[in-house]
Structure 1
């Protein structure tokens, strides 16, 4: 039997706009994040930014939505707010474990709540819980950020997507820290918090993006405004994105104007202390080149495929070409292995014409492949730079897309003393947070390259930094201004074309001057006196506090874990978010019985310029998320980095037998610790696993379970009258004493029990209540063996 097939007319088969694999749609939409609105007010070398995220529940049950997103790595987040159903709830900054406990309790009681946490200097997570069906909830973040300035231009950069990151290490047993596609590992113990699922290309634009920046040059002449990656419209002093842009690359504005030497003094509200911002324009005398040792480390991993590899090779070659015959250098390239030019060897060689030619020849043949094992090449580079009698320089060219930043800083931090570390970040969604932290240890420069067109300008900046600085051995003292010792951090050096910016604290009146001193290129004393002027710009205080917190966090990452309490206290005092604190907003109204019945981790865009997977997940995994039972575990699929010439290989079969499909011939199964990338279009991009098996959870002994129950009951009784709360505390002390005795004694519990049962009328009941709550929280944050649980799992 032969059936005749009538061909379709052209108008009957026109493609649906934005249609593609993974384009899942329900009647009310497909994803909870509906809109992102960014409004920036740029004034001189600082910007105040307001970020508004709109969430909507397209399902028929209460929803918890999780969104992992980037912010500028040097930005200070100072406020958080949740709005829903005509109600406005201001967020409160708390220690991270306490904030999570408040959020979890509110969610379990059916109240709306939202929490904002920092996982990296430029990666944040917001959770919004108990969004009822059809409801819209808005969360707002307020932040201040400094603008880097060089060669007559400031740069306002606002990241819009968290790119997939290479996750090394062996997967950890037990509960995962988050809901991302990568398992937590010994090298990246919070990997599941920084790996949001990724949409396949062709997915309908899921988020409405608007971004506007209003520019005030702060009394300086604004000569030019340029946008690097987006199409923008300028109306007066406001620059706006064209409608329809996607969250798949950084937004970048370059503002050309002349900076001037200045000292701004901003008193605190109470007036006893204040914050200063010092800008010093460098002298114009050219530096004298000094012999130096330079090690160039080039990332050739799979995520560098395409234009990034081309730009990286060009950048590395430009750096080699700037060396002189008095210099020595080495070139290391890496993916999962470390290589060097065969004709030069692994050590430092003289920067002769012949050797530089051989190095450039080697660089020209490099192609992207493999994983991003960055620790080993950096350790080798530091080992080569062991001669303290020479100027030592390390240059890293990479997109920085790794998850084990803390591990690298811990291993290298102390060894970078005396080494200038410069980084060249090449990507449209670069990991600027890590690259900036690394250069902070090495007192160098982080240069970001978002396109080949911008490469030449960036390399000029790096060239100057590789050369000798104009002024070194800097120190700062007050002249009629009482500076707070140790509040300025490391001063660095003065380089040609790069104004020096210093933030710090002072005591007393907002008047006086500062004197910056150092040595010029000939070793002669150099100094500059700058008179201060009082201004009213609260961003100066928050920017200083964020920089101080980042310095303390980097010292913590490098191994000084004694700093945790100091970091928390500092964050709470100055109202600036950090990795050990969180903003939490909790409504008082109950809107959902029993908490959210559905959880979604918002998928993010594949960054612009990244290659898509060559194959889609099995079609049986394509289903509308609204049809899936909330309790069903999400199938997990992952992509591995491929051999040269392709960015990814197809995913292995999902672990869930109900959804299992043959992986097909030739599909590799990821080994432990292999790099993984979220599989586009599959259910695990729309569904977050609500429950894990009891065997996978971190075990809680009866001792800790009882403490958790006592803490829950204590918080529930917080609204009692004072005399009833005192009686409650006495009863609690009796129970805790019995609990400690039952388990063979416990000094902290016994001490708390004595305080609660003493009945001293001179002790305020609020003080006792806070003592009980804080002690129970602290004990619960400790893992087995009495060690405090990592802050990302509290």
Structure 2
């Protein structure tokens, strides 16, 4: 039974009040999304969830509706189905290109169809096509997710809105990948898919939301259930959201109980020869030793951090600085469109003396939110500062994570994080948890999510302990009587105080035996923990492992290893778990709309709670109707759509016909008031000379044995030739970006890899690649 439910203060949990400005309609009728129903069943540290989305066609012609929405970034989506006119159509998981082709063909033939696609680990798109006039269609998603656990509490977090994200880079010409307010760029080639229009505030609830969580402690003693950000009520063992809440912030429950060391062995139901294991090791409550360390703190002060988020970020950053000791060295980098450091500390690492820490805290206290979220440059600078350190190296990023170029960031810095512990502090009520978790995972660190100022102190205590040395490092796993499948065991990382070690993997044969974890403790002495296995019934374990495996492979792909595509698709299809290279598609056999849908609407989403006003979001949004800016410059902020403006059409992207955006939404004026034009070229475009690029690649490889100075000169010369080639071609975003990178100074090995990978991609490209393969 649930013993108690604690809430935040009333002023933090009240639903957003309606301003009573009238019904939310376009000139063609109501918006298509009517309801979102979330039903979760928590059992111990695992949650099974079903999400049901209800669509209705208020128009007099067949409709295709598009909805961009979030899901938990570690959740495994395992089933999809569509219900309409008393019929149930089960979705089939296919390679993404094939699923899209099947969906488009079904629509053209007049049949109902629905498709579910992943655009980010926590951002998904559903399209439902050929909804006939007056008809209601529901789509069902089934998923399983693990609950993160530390310091005696597990967290069930379910995101409810995709926040606006900053889109850097130069515009790409050609067909857009989607129908959002931001055009695609070389840094974010699918920007138009992850930027749905945003509702202007002040309207009655446009979507009916229901959310219920049944809690089963699974034999553990449940001490308390805390709700954050939402008003809930208790009904037996179920926590239910109060009616009238909006889809504008994450839903969060914290469940307090004591976890225990265990090894769960779950044989496959359909294959007795294999199974999945889940190892949990709870560390002893021993303090970590305080070794001298180098710490670089990176603080986001961009426009999306306006309001309480900036206050919380300054407090968090100051707390981190205050925890440093005299033997440490540190640097503070604050960024928006530029990177700044405290006056008097210099450009490198400074001793953490009282005077230097005071200067840093003074600098932090003066920061205000402004500008765009150019995150790549400060992260590269932070990694460079830590690259030559012989001490413990720590990078702490404080941000809301609202950027669209996640893959570009991971590709540029992922391989350089070896030996650096990366901790991320995500501050928002609709935080980009997927990206921050991936970044922390690459750096074997922790990701703390802060949804309110009340949560800040608790989160900073966690980060303080992580910044110190871990309890156990150099971990390895040894099987005793258990046959592990090679290449399936998740990353071990390190063991920190208050944080259980969780390892997932696959095994063959009988469900018996033990696993031993070996490592070195904080004094350098050998450490070992042996855990005997127990066979359990846990059908969710296999898809949760598969999702973790897919995330690891996708992160390696994003970091530049594009040879993994076939393996990613294979794992996804074998284990029935959605990923970025596959899609669920459900197609009805009946023809209901001759000629396909005559109307297309992309559903606008709520402005996230805590974002002070649409103006605060404006720096995030890119003016799609502008001419291409100078190379490397981010696009300018848009104007705001006025309430009651006539709905117009954005450029075609996902299905041929133009898509309508709601009149009462926040989107670039250019996208709302006129079709999006292609960027103008200075001269008629010419074909990319593949043979010349292949020859440049051959010369580059032949010069690999040169000394560092000669290699740098070779790269700079190559950059100048590529820049001239881009001018001759009349502009080419990828070629220009590569040329700029090679004409800068920096790590020669990193620049060399960038040159090889860039030339390989350009020499084999036959035009613009599918956006999900960028």
TM over 0.5: yes
Q: Which of 617, 635, 657 in structure 2 is aligned with 1:673?
A: 635
- CA distance in 2: counterparts of 1:256 and 1:90, whole angstroms: 38
- CA distance in 2: counterparts of 1:354 and 1:694, whole angstroms: 53
CA deviations over 1:291-340 (Å, ceiling 9, x no partner): 10000000000000000000000000000111111110000000000000
Partner of 1:18: 18
Partner of 1:200: 200
8 Å Cα contact 1:336-1:372 kept in structure 2: yes
1:518 pairs with 2:519? yes
Shift in Å at residue 283 of structure 1? 1.5
For the residue of structure 1 that corresponds to 2:198, the secondary structure is coil
Partner of 2:324: 323
- CA distance in 2: counterparts of 1:56 and 1:602, whole angstroms: 12
1:596 pairs with 2:558? no
Q: Structure 1 residues 523, 244: CA separation in 2 closer, same or farther (over 3 Å shift)?
A: same
For the residue of structure 1 that corresponds to 2:409, the secondary structure is helix
Partner of 2:744: none
CA deviations over 1:26-85 (Å, ceiling 9, x no partner): 799611000000000001111000000000001111000000000000100000000000
1:461 pairs with 2:468? no
Q: Structure 1 residues 32, 316: CA separation in 2 closer, same or farther (over 3 Å shift)?
A: same
- CA distance in 1: counterparts of 2:406 and 2:393, whole angstroms: 23
Q: Structure 1 residues 257, 103: CA separation in 2 closer, same or farther (over 3 Å shift)?
A: same
Shift in Å at residue 565 of structure 1? 0.7
Shift in Å at residue 489 of structure 1? 2.7
Q: Structure 1 residues 246, 29: CA separation in 2 closer, same or farther (over 3 Å shift)?
A: farther
Shift in Å at residue 640 of structure 1? 4.0
Aligned residues: 653
Q: Structure 1 residues 84, 515: CA separation in 2 closer, same or farther (over 3 Å shift)?
A: same
Structure 1 residues 65-84: aligned runs within 5 Å? 65-84=65-84
Shift in Å at residue 527 of structure 1? 0.5
Runs of 4+ aligned structure 1 residues displaced above 2 Å come to: 17-29, 651-656, 670-697, 782-794
For the residue of structure 1 that corresponds to 2:560, the secondary structure is coil
Shift in Å at residue 694 of structure 1? 13
1:546 pairs with 2:567? no
- CA distance in 1: counterparts of 2:215 and 2:494, whole angstroms: 29
CA deviations over 1:429-458 (Å, ceiling 9, x no partner): 000011011111111000000000000000
- CA distance in 1: counterparts of 2:642 and 2:463, whole angstroms: 37
CA deviations over 1:641-675 (Å, ceiling 9, x no partner): 2xxxxx99xx989799xxxxxxxxxxxxx986335
- CA distance in 1: counterparts of 2:559 and 2:391, whole angstroms: 25
- CA distance in 1: counterparts of 2:312 and 2:400, whole angstroms: 11
1:790 pairs with 2:770? yes
- CA distance in 1: counterparts of 2:279 and 2:651, whole angstroms: 50
Partner of 2:423: 422
- CA distance in 1: counterparts of 2:365 and 2:677, whole angstroms: 51
Structure 1 residues 36-115: aligned runs within 5 Å? 36-115=36-115
For the residue of structure 2 that corresponds to 1:459, the secondary structure is helix
For the residue of structure 1 that corresponds to 2:240, the secondary structure is strand
Shift in Å at residue 588 of structure 1? 0.3
8 Å Cα contact 1:48-1:143 kept in structure 2: yes
- CA distance in 1: counterparts of 2:231 and 2:594, whole angstroms: 46
Unaligned runs of 5+ in 1: 1-16, 616-638, 642-646, 657-669, 700-781
Q: Structure 1 residues 538, 682: CA separation in 2 closer, same or farther (over 3 Å shift)?
A: farther
Shift in Å at residue 680 of structure 1? 6.3
Q: Structure 1 residues 442, 686: CA separation in 2 closer, same or farther (over 3 Å shift)?
A: farther
- CA distance in 1: counterparts of 2:222 and 2:596, whole angstroms: 52
Unaligned runs of 5+ in 2: 1-16, 659-674, 685-761
Q: What is the TM-score when the length of structure 2 is the normalising length?
A: 0.81
Partner of 1:121: 121
- CA distance in 2: counterparts of 1:467 and 1:122, whole angstroms: 30
CA deviations over 1:334-355 (Å, ceiling 9, x no partner): 0000000012122111111111
- CA distance in 1: counterparts of 2:341 and 2:300, whole angstroms: 12
Q: Structure 1 residues 22, 122: CA separation in 2 closer, same or farther (over 3 Å shift)?
A: farther
Shift in Å at residue 462 of structure 1? 0.5
- Higher deviation after alignment, 94-103 or 481-490: 481-490
For the residue of structure 1 that corresponds to 2:199, the secondary structure is coil
For the residue of structure 2 that corresponds to 1:380, the secondary structure is helix
CA deviations over 1:267-303 (Å, ceiling 9, x no partner): 0121111000111000222111111000000000000
- CA distance in 2: counterparts of 1:282 and 1:685, whole angstroms: 58
Structure 1 residues 227-626: aligned runs within 5 Å? 227-269=227-269, 270-613=271-614
8 Å Cα contact 2:72-2:122 kept in structure 1: yes
For the residue of structure 2 that corresponds to 1:195, the secondary structure is coil
8 Å Cα contact 1:284-1:496 kept in structure 2: yes
Partner of 2:168: 168
Q: Structure 1 residues 784, 552: CA separation in 2 closer, same or farther (over 3 Å shift)?
A: closer
- CA distance in 1: counterparts of 2:769 and 2:28, whole angstroms: 41
8 Å Cα contact 1:599-1:687 kept in structure 2: no
8 Å Cα contact 2:183-2:624 kept in structure 1: no
8 Å Cα contact 1:679-1:685 kept in structure 2: no
Shift in Å at residue 25 of structure 1? 3.1
- CA distance in 2: counterparts of 1:684 and 1:582, whole angstroms: 34
- CA distance in 2: counterparts of 1:22 and 1:784, whole angstroms: 54
Q: Structure 1 residues 286, 226: CA separation in 2 closer, same or farther (over 3 Å shift)?
A: same
- Higher deviation after alignment, 248-257 or 281-290: 281-290
8 Å Cα contact 1:111-1:591 kept in structure 2: yes
Partner of 1:8: none
- CA distance in 2: counterparts of 1:433 and 1:37, whole angstroms: 22
- CA distance in 1: counterparts of 2:566 and 2:288, whole angstroms: 43
8 Å Cα contact 1:477-1:483 kept in structure 2: no
- Higher deviation after alignment, 252-261 or 523-532: 523-532
8 Å Cα contact 2:119-2:125 kept in structure 1: yes
Partner of 1:223: 223
Shift in Å at residue 784 of structure 1? 9.5
- CA distance in 2: counterparts of 1:524 and 1:110, whole angstroms: 69
CA deviations over 1:497-519 (Å, ceiling 9, x no partner): 11111111111011111111111
8 Å Cα contact 1:69-1:162 kept in structure 2: yes
RMSD: 2.6
Q: Structure 1 residues 335, 21: CA separation in 2 closer, same or farther (over 3 Å shift)?
A: farther
- CA distance in 1: counterparts of 2:349 and 2:677, whole angstroms: 52
Partner of 1:618: none
8 Å Cα contact 1:567-1:580 kept in structure 2: yes
Shift in Å at residue 485 of structure 1? 2.0
Shift in Å at residue 129 of structure 1? 0.1
- CA distance in 2: counterparts of 1:793 and 1:280, whole angstroms: 37
- CA distance in 1: counterparts of 2:373 and 2:638, whole angstroms: 11
Partner of 1:148: 148
8 Å Cα contact 1:167-1:676 kept in structure 2: no
8 Å Cα contact 2:335-2:373 kept in structure 1: yes
8 Å Cα contact 1:22-1:200 kept in structure 2: no
Partner of 2:722: none
- CA distance in 2: counterparts of 1:174 and 1:689, whole angstroms: 11
For the residue of structure 1 that corresponds to 2:30, the secondary structure is coil
- CA distance in 2: counterparts of 1:653 and 1:115, whole angstroms: 27
8 Å Cα contact 1:601-1:686 kept in structure 2: no
8 Å Cα contact 2:176-2:651 kept in structure 1: no
- CA distance in 2: counterparts of 1:170 and 1:609, whole angstroms: 30
- CA distance in 2: counterparts of 1:357 and 1:554, whole angstroms: 38
